[in-house]
Amino acid sequence: MLDIAFIRSNPEIIKEGIRKKRMNTDIDELLSVDEEVRKVRGEVEAFRADRNRISKDIPKLKGEEKDQALAKVKAAKDGLSRFEPELKKLEEQFEKLMLMVPNPPLSIVPEGESDDDNVEVRHFGEPTKFDFQPKDHLELAESLDIVDMPRAVKFAGARMYCLKNEGALLEFALFKFALELLVSRGFQPMIVPQLVRREAMIGTGFFPLGEEDTFYVEKDDLYLIGTSEVPLVSYHMDEILNEKDLPKHYCGYSSCFRREAGSYGRDTRGFYRLHQFNKVEQVIICVNDPEVSMVEHRLLLSNSEALMQALGLPHRVALACGAEIGQGQVLKHEIETWMPSRNRYSETHSCSSLHEFQSRRLRIRWRGKNSKVNYCHTLNNTAVASPRILIPLLENFQNEDGSVTIPEVLRPYMTGMERIEPKSK
């Protein structure tokens, strides 16, 4: 959520941000409702002031003077009964419109309509070349007997899976390696709730625009998270943090759940888009200084790049274009990893800066040395998400005999295992 005072003073900046993000929000309607809210609120406050002021004096009055005062109090109450319902309705409309306003992207964000317009910043390694006919990740996983999708679909429905044997060990190895890397860099590990209240989803900006992609537990009025960003950022809702305690560096492990409502049948084969997956997410909460925020953004990105380089996976860092940036983000970099079966770099990490967007919704603030209270900046980035990361890992490290070489950094977490061998039928 943005500051309405900023929107009033800079409507053209907001409109340009809407255009660049290819979103559809009517700022003129918002400003019109805002003006009406202030007008009606003025009427309500005037009637309340009259009622309170006159009521206070009534015990001292007598006779006709008291009757006149009582009549004025009644007139004030009648005015309130007329204007208070109108104000409530307008305030509800105002809040709904405010929740739809996107955060304007930074000027360095390029123009673009899709991820094809993302701008490469740097890359590591080169696309893998094979001197044999390579398999895709699902063929490999099935021949290695590390996944069972048909049985999972049988009892859990489409886009579900069971990782097993070395596949399960490989996922745990990835998470253990990622957590140890982040902890060594000063991040606090957390295991977080996977069911949250609506306020947390609205506060982190996943509602109202992303509501159709979220699983809802109606009986308990709770939502399954699509990323541990939601509980990690919400962890400090309604708090005022001290400057000396910032920045907060968190890494959270959780299962994640997404309906993939907008995918419309895309990427239905294999591990790319699933309803459930596991992830280690990074979150930073810092002071509301754009320069500090940019330093923290680079830190998040460097953590994930270090992990990918340690794994030896060819990847590139890309600056996301306007249309690929979400409602709350002012800046996003993606790490796109080479996936031979897709013959392209595809997203495995998303590093985002949101400035005050989430903290205003969740009322997360910080107090500086001058005792002034400000809203914090929040940032997030994937550390590792599985099983999507298994796509490039299996495909890039496959061997002609059908085995897959395990990256050296993961072997200590897999009892020294160097390869996953195909299983005989």
Is 36 annotated to bind a ligand? Reply is no
- φ/ψ of 283, rounded to 5, equals -135, 140
Residue 255 is labelled as binding a ligand: no
Which CA distances in Å does 239 have to 235, 242, 302, 366, 416? Answer: 9, 10, 29, 8, 45
Active-site annotation, residues: 258, 273, 347, 350, 388
> Among the residues of 102-218, which ranges form H helices?
137-143, 149-156, 166-184, 198-203
The token pair that represents 79 in the structure block: 């005015």
Question: Per the structure block, which two tokens stand in for 373?
Answer: 């209270």
The verdict on whether residue 370 carries a ligand-binding annotation is no
Helices (H), 289-356: 290-311
Residue 214 identity (one-letter amino acid) = T
Sign of the four-CA dihedral 322, 328, 333, 338: negative
Find out whether 198 is annotated in a ligand binding site. no
Place of tokens 């094979």: 130
User: What distance in Å separates the CA atoms of residue 240 and residue 230, rounded to the nearest whole number?
Assistant: 19
Q: 272 near 385, Cβ under 8 Å?
A: no
Rounded to the nearest 5°, which phi and psi values hold at 127? Answer: -50, 135
Answer yes or no: is 347 a known binding residue: yes
Confirm or deny that 227 is annotated as ligand binding. Answer: yes
- Asked if residue 25 belongs to a known ligand binding site, the reply is no
Is 229 one of the annotated binding-site residues? yes
Q: Is 95 within any annotated ligand binding site? A: no
Q: Is 259 annotated as a binding residue?
A: yes
Cα separation of 243 and 48, whole Å?
Answer: 39
Is 303 annotated to bind a ligand? Reply is: no
Q: Is 415 annotated as a binding residue?
A: no
Per-residue H/E/C for 278-291: EEEEEEEEECCCHH
To the question of whether residue 113 is assigned a binding role by annotation, the answer is no
Known binding-site positions for ATP: 258-260, 347-350
Known binding-site positions for L-serine: 227-229, 258, 281, 380, 382
Known binding-site positions: 227-229, 258-260, 281, 347-350, 380, 382
